[in-house]
A and B are shown apart, each in its own frame.
Chain A
Amino acid sequence: MSDTPAAPDDDGPDPRSAQTVDAKLLEILVCPLTHGPLRYDRARQELISDQAGLAYPVRDGIPIMLVDEARALDAPDADS
C-alpha cells in the first residue's frame, strides 16, 4: 500500500544531479495525457496536472512523466 521509495542510489544515478527540475525543461513540460499545463510543487517534488487529476513524481530532479507512475490527486496520500 505504501508508496515505493524512490531508491535514489540503487544503481548510481549521476551524483551531480540537481534536486530540482532544470528550468529550461520545466518551461516546455506539459501533461502527457492532456497537453495541459503543470504546476511544480517543489516541497513535494511533484508536477501536478489539474486537468488530468494526476501528480507526476520528480525523483532526484528527474521528472517521471509516465502516466502509470503518477499519483491520482483524489487518491489518499501515500506520503503522509
Chain B
Amino acid sequence: MGDGIEVFDQGAVRRHRERAAAGLGEHDFLLVEVAERLADRLSDVKRRFPFALDLGCHRGEFGRALAGRGGIETLIHCDPSPAMVAHAPGPRLAAAEDRLPFRAPAFDLVTSVLSLHWANDLPGALIQIARCLRPDGLLLAALLGGETLGDLRRALVEAELAERGGASPRVSPFADIGDLGGLLQRAGLAMPVVDADTITVTYPDAFALMADLRGMGESNAVADRVRHFTPRSVLAAAAAAYGAQHGDADGRIPARFQVLYLTAWKPHESQPRALRPGSAEASLAETLEPGAHSRQGHKRV
C-alpha cells in the first residue's frame, strides 16, 4: 500500500490497543509511573499551557497524573484506538500520530506517554506535532528506548534458534537515544533535550511479563513477523533460560524498560539562539587569558 517501509503493522498496533482497552487498569503500572514522571517534569516548567493535547493518551493516565498542574485549561485526549480513548475524559478523539487532524498552529503543549515508539514514521509524526504547536509551544514526550527488554529479546532469539533453527523479530524495535535529538531538530523544533531512565519491574516468570505486555497493548507489532503463533516449546525454553540467567533468589525475574524523555520547543523570537559563526565581537583566547594569546591586528567591528 505505502511506498515507504512499514516497520509496524498499524492495524496490529491499533488492534492490540483495542483489545487492551477494557482491561488496561490491571496492567497500567508502567504507564501510570511514566505519566507521573512526565507530569513532574511539566510542573518544573515555569509556564502555563492553557490549550494542550495528549497524544496516544491511552485511558487518560497523563491527565490524571497531572491533577491540575501545568496551567492547563483544556486537555484534548487523542489515541489511535477508539476503544482506548472512549475511556479517557472529554474532549477526545481518535487519530493516528502520523496523520494529525489539527489546524496549525493549535496547541501550547503536546504531551505523549509511551506511544510514539509505535509510530511507523517517527520523523513524520514529529513534523506533524511541530506543525500544530504554537510559537514557543512545548513538546514533552516519553517513549520506550532501544534498551527496553533486551534480556527478553535475547532469550527469545536464543530459544527460537535452538528449537527451530531460525529467528524472527518477537519484540518491536525501538528508537535509540542518539537519533532523537537530530529528529527533533529536523522537525523544526528548538532547544531539544533527550534523556533516559530505566524502570525495572519484577515478575514471577517470563509468561507473566508477556501477559502484562499484552495487557498494556504493547504486544509485538513488527510488520514482517512470522504470522503464526510462537510455539509453546519456544516460549517455555525462553522462559526457562530467562529465569535461569536473570532470576533472583525468590525466582522472580526483572524486566528493564528504558524510557526516553523528549523536550523541545516551537521556535519563537524570545528564545535564546546561537549566533552565526564568525559573528563574535570578542576573542575567546583573550577572554580566557587576557594579553597572552592576543593576535596582532585582531579584527573588531
A and B associate:
yes
Interface SS of chain B: helix, strand, loop or mixed?
loop
Q: What range describes how many residues of B lie at the interface?
A: 20 to 34
Segment touching A, from B38-46, B74-82, B188-196? B74-82
Q: Which residues of B contact A11 (CB under 8 A)?
A: 21-22, 83, 86-87
Query: How distant is the Cα of A31 from the Cα of B104 in the complex, in angstroms?
Result: 12
Q: Which residues of B contact A59 (CB under 8 A)?
A: 82
Pair B74/A33 contact, Cβ less than 8 Å: no
Q: Which residues of A contact B85 (CB under 8 A)?
A: 62
Kindly provide the distance from the CB of B64 to the nearest chain A CB, expressed in whole angstroms. 13
Pair A62/B83 contact, Cβ less than 8 Å: no
Q: Which 3 residue pairs are nearest across A and B when measured between Cβ atoms?
A: A13-B86, A22-B91, A32-B101
Pair A28/B103 contact, Cβ less than 8 Å: yes
Query: How distant is the Cα of A64 from the Cα of B101 in the complex, in angstroms?
Result: 10
Query: How distant is the Cα of A11 from the Cα of B18 in the complex, in angstroms?
Result: 10
Q: Does B12 contact A (CB under 8 A)?
A: no
Q: Which residues of A contact B91 (CB under 8 A)?
A: 22, 24-25
Question: A-side interface residues toward B, CB under 8 Å?
Answer: 11-14, 16-18, 22, 24-25, 27-33, 35, 59-67, 69
Q: Which residues of A contact B76 (CB under 8 A)?
A: 24-25
Q: Does B93 contact A (CB under 8 A)?
A: yes
How many A-B contacts if CB must be within 8 Å?
78
Query: How distant is the Cα of A28 from the Cα of B144 in the complex, in angstroms?
Result: 29
Query: How distant is the Cα of A16 from the Cα of B86 in the complex, in angstroms?
Result: 11
Q: Which residues of A contact B94 (CB under 8 A)?
A: 62-66, 69
Kindly provide the distance from the CB of A45 to the nearest chain B CB, expressed in whole angstroms. 13
Q: Which residues of B contact A17 (CB under 8 A)?
A: 86, 90
Pair A65/B101 contact, Cβ less than 8 Å: yes
Which listed residue, A22, A30, A32, A62, touches B82 by the CB 8 Å rule?
A: A62
The chain B residue sitting closest to A23, CB to CB, is B91
Pair B22/A29 contact, Cβ less than 8 Å: no
Q: Which residues of A contact B83 (CB under 8 A)?
A: 11
With A16-B90, A61-B90, A62-B86 as contacts: A28 and B95 at CB distance below 8 Å: no
The chain B residue sitting closest to A56, CB to CB, is B101
Query: How distant is the Cα of A24 from the Cα of B90 in the complex, in angstroms?
Result: 11
Q: What are 12 contact pairs spanning A and B, CB under 8 A?
A: A12-B87, A13-B87, A14-B86, A14-B89, A17-B90, A22-B91, A22-B92, A25-B93, A29-B93, A30-B103, A65-B99, A67-B96
